[in-house]
Structure 1
């Protein structure tokens, strides 16, 4: 396998950090970060067995720096690899069927609701779509599909462009992201209609927009409907099997230790910075409640960030009652939507905005780390 893996210096150059924006890494096309190469793994159905988890931990420790990130699209990122480590890791992951041997099948983010059960609609549609991914047209790098056909929709806030969901009427529905309503679909026709809407997206100029929500062309009549997605009655992050990861980070040693629990069969990856354990209750986390906080990896691990993000986010977490986003730059990778408080790195300092995104015009500019803390310590503490 190693002789088949082709390192692409046009996109990633070892020893020189790529600053290309809007490009998503895969296992076959790793991305250069400040701490080395980043290899992304998207397991089938968002599930890894306990043995596969132990293998990932060994690969991360042996060929990278041991850091593993769970992304907001339910993928795992192994960090700190060099070119030789990437090649060895890729061979191992392909052999374990954690990475597809066909690089083209690794390019499209397919997000599956982590509460799926064998044979249910989510599982059925994901299986059918996975078998027909080659029929989809070439789509933008960040384009994704969410399959969320359980009793209630749990992926409404997760990043995706086409969504198969459970409607408030109980029917299956297809919805283009950015539109509040969708159209009813029949069981068995989901893949055909996903393909048709993807074809329309490309043919109508959506590739230039990049994402469905930014594409303002009128949908075809057949894809226009009045159904609204049914919301979940409870968040999976409150499930007793849910194991939160601070900022989505776990190291190889901790992942291996997590799999040693008696009765654990597999781990489900979620887009909420938490792992869902199969067969056992999750152990008590020794970190504070950071569920309302988003922070990217920041400097120095990300070459586009000019500030360290997570130390500040951790200090601010108990001071802020609402949502907090600390972003190393205005890309806002950790959170695409608005947050109550957002701090964005710029030239080594922080810009502050409220009810905003990372790329919003700030209310205050050029704050130091200490000035940010002083500002929020002067406000009433969170309840």
Structure 2
């Protein structure tokens, strides 16, 4: 039997990205040893620090350099000395678009031992996934500025929704729901956004007709945000446009206790390009270099990467080990009310694994 090898491009990025990626790699290496496969890592220095030195977040041929890997493991992007739109459009967004990572999948789960900000909610009440369209929608690059710096200054931004792009993200959501609790909720705003959102509703209705046996619901984004807080137990899979999905996939983890443990998968479901896995949290300049960053999100994102690579037993074991450490105050990091630093947290996960 051939030994399974997976080639991973790592991009630690900025700030605590370096700390959490290193932590995640240590846990994933332990899982690989336990379950009989290997992970071959290649690190790329693409970051705001690189931008300061070269004027580019990544080299011109950066996309081609990572295209041949099996997956990408990303830490965090952003630093106060570089405007956010420069760092994101110089690295993260080109990776998503040019590799066609059109499905952003973000699980939301309340773990035992993590304090929920919602009264009387238990882990069984909060367990859903936000599926966000990741390459078009409201985040298109179509638009511009006129008469800059004058009283007549104007800005225009076009939201681009295609049938191809909308239908395929619906398919991802419905296929995922069939493996879970068979329910999909659509985020819309067709009562106020009169062209793109009625189109989105039509494509959701068409997807519903294609997937018998999956129950559905649709809510306008404003009341849907309220329902995340008031009724998180209603949700299984939530499908949303780029903007709405971006917002909901931060609100969801906050409802579940902490955005600091939230992971994200940027998927090319057809597997024509390497998918990318990252923690949702940012580069956290205020704690960078202090050794206290919570590695849970990077570890969970790493587990999602293992699952995508077909290492399902290892992925489950990593998540279970992480859950074990979150359940105990003495093995949680300070941001979750515990006492551990990054290294101690990793050691606890390794022990549980």
RCO comparison, higher one (Cα < 8 Å, 6+): 2
Same fold flag (TM > 0.5): no
TM-score by length of 2: 0.29
TM-score by length of 1: 0.28
